[in-house]
């Protein structure tokens, strides 16, 4: 994707770093949910479909509200929504640490999902406003915080929550409080930015291409997001069970290996945005989705060491797609940063949650290994990238 808009502003890295740190804190708390699934299964005697339903409760809550919040804040920006969203995540975490029933666990998962719904579209908007035109780089810095947080969750669960028990989740509420303090400062900068730019004419919302071409492109991106979300949901929700069942590793060892996979995803996000700025977002999407196919096809058929290595490659490549997809979509639909961010973050959560439930039913019926075999074919859908507008087509449309 070409740089359609000129870089006429300074990149405010301190603000981008602030939302990235809060993304890290937010997603640490989110990832603890999936990381403690083995603990919850033993304590509450849960089946795989009940575990999938918890993922669905969290992710569908996030997916339902994110586009709505993004649309509303496009028209009526609300900077203080950022610390409020972190407060919802805090409440959900406390409930997960103290719940005495499955219904309360679901409620805690929903509150964490609501916090994500508020945080992600507005924080993504702040990252773009502070980018100085380096949209891919800003999105990568913002998103890598979340991916590092997601990766750290299983590690923290392995060394803190598993040995000390579920009530130790309450210690992580201090991270939520820190996030609220940082986001309060970020929202103050956002408010000052609004005042300073009040006289600036609004960004043109004219579509760069014909409407049907834009709609087709968004639909294709949605299918590609499905590939990423479904495969990632299979890894994050059931990877620990897959490793324990197939290779006989301990729960703690499986959490560490999940951290390795999620760490590779964090690195992929960090590289995806700058590579998209340098070589074009469409190039990154091609490599990320379709290029991962040989590795996913091999994963169900190899030993433990090769599984870990392939998981690293898969996480790295697949995660690079998201910042590229988000920036690509924002250029296709200009002036709708919050809506696009809400749709894509929300769509990712929703598809991930729905996929987790479906994969949970499949795992109960056919086994975890069969699920991983079926998921290995998903990246074939990366061929749909051929229907996206080329970089040259977008340059000509923007000129």
b (16+ CB within 10 A) / e for 119-132: bbbbbbbbbbbbbb
Residue 319 falls within a domain, yes or no? yes
pLDDT band at 396 (very low <50, low <70, confident <90, very high): low
The residue among 137 and 356 whose pLDDT is bigger is: 137
Nearest to 255 by CA among 35, 25, 28, 24: 35
- Kindly tell me if the per-residue pLDDT of 89 is higher than 50: yes
- CATH number, domain of 252, equals 1.20.1250.20
Helix, strand and coil in the chain, % to nearest 5? 85, 0, 15
Global pTM value: 0.66
For the chain, the domain total comes to: 1
The percent of residues in the chain predicted with pLDDT above 70, rounded, is 89
What distance in Å separates the CA atoms of residue 212 and residue 392, rounded to the nearest whole number?
A: 18
Residue 61 domain-assigned?
yes
Flag whether 201 is in a domain.
no
What is residue 310's predicted lDDT score, i.e. its pLDDT? 92
Domain that holds residue 298: 13-193+208-398
Q: Is residue 101 part of a domain?
A: yes
Q: Which helix (H) or strand (E) holds 8?
A: none
Q: In this predicted model, what pLDDT tens digit does every residue of 28-76 receive, in sequence order?
A: 888 788 777 878 888 888 888 888 788 778 877 877 777 777 777 777 7
Q: Is residue 170 part of a domain?
A: yes
Alpha helices in 130-280 (DSSP H): 135-156, 162-164, 173-196, 211-247, 251-279
Question: How many whole angstroms separate alpha carbon 254 and alpha carbon 365?
Answer: 23
State the virtual CA torsion across 36, 40, 41, 42 in degrees, nearest 10: 110
Closest among 310, 296, 264 to 373, alpha carbons compared: 296
Look at residue 5 and tell me if it is in a domain: no
Contacts of 384 (CB under 8 A, 6+ apart): 220, 223, 224
Considering the domain boundaries, does residue 297 fall inside one? yes
Residue 335 lies in a domain: yes
Give me the mean pLDDT over the 111-124 stretch: 85
As separate numbers, helices (DSSP H) first and strands (DSSP E) second, the chain gives: 17, 0
Question: Is a pLDDT exceeding 90 seen at residue 325?
Answer: no
């Amino acid at each position: 994707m070409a740089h359609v808009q000129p870089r006429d502003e300074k990149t405010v890295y301190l603000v981008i770093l602030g939302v990235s740190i809060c993304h890290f804190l937010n997603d640490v708390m989110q990832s603890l949910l999936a990381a403690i699934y083995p603990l919850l299964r033993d304590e509450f005697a849960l089946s795989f479909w009940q575990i999938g339903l918890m993922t669905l409760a969290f992710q569908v809550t996030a997916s339902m509200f994110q586009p709505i919040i993004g649309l509303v804040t496009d028209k009526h920006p609300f900077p203080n929504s950022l610390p409020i969203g972190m407060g919802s995540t805090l409440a959900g975490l406390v409930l997960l640490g103290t719940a005495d029933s499955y219904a309360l666990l679901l409620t805690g998962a929903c509150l964490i999902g609501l916090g994500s719904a508020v945080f992600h579209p507005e924080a993504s908007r702040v990252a773009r406003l502070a980018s100085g035109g380096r949209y891919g780089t800003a999105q990568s810095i913002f998103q890598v915080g979340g991916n590092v947080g997601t990766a750290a969750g299983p590690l923290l669960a392995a060394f803190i929550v598993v040995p000390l028990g579920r009530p130790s989740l309450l210690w992580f509420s201090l991270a939520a409080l820190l996030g609220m303090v940082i986001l309060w400062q970020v929202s103050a900068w956002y408010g000052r930015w609004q005042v300073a730019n009040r006289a600036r004419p609004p960004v043109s919302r004219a579509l760069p291409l014909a409407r049907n071409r834009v709609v087709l492109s968004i639909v294709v991106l949605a299918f590609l997001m499905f590939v990423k979300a479904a495969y990632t949901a299979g890894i994050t929700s059931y990877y620990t069970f897959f490793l324990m069942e197939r290779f006989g590793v301990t729960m703690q060892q499986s959490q560490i290996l999940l951290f390795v996979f999620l760490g590779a995803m964090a690195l992929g996000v960090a590289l995806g945005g700058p590579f998209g700025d340098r070589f074009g977002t469409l190039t990154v999407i091609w490599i990320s989705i379709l290029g991962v196919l040989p590795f996913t096809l091999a994963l169900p058929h190899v030993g433990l060491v090769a599984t870990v290595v392939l998981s690293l490659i898969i996480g790295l490549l697949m995660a690079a797609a998201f910042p590229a997809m988000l920036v690509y979509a924002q250029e296709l639909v200009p002036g709708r940063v919050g809506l696009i961010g809400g749709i894509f973050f929300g769509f990712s959560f929703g598809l991930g949650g729905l996929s987790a439930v479906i994969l949970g039913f499949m795992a109960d019926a056919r086994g975890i290994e069969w699920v991983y075999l079926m998921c290995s074919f998903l990246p074939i859908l990366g061929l749909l990238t051929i229907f996206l507008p080329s970089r040259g087509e977008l340059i000509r449309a923007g000129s």
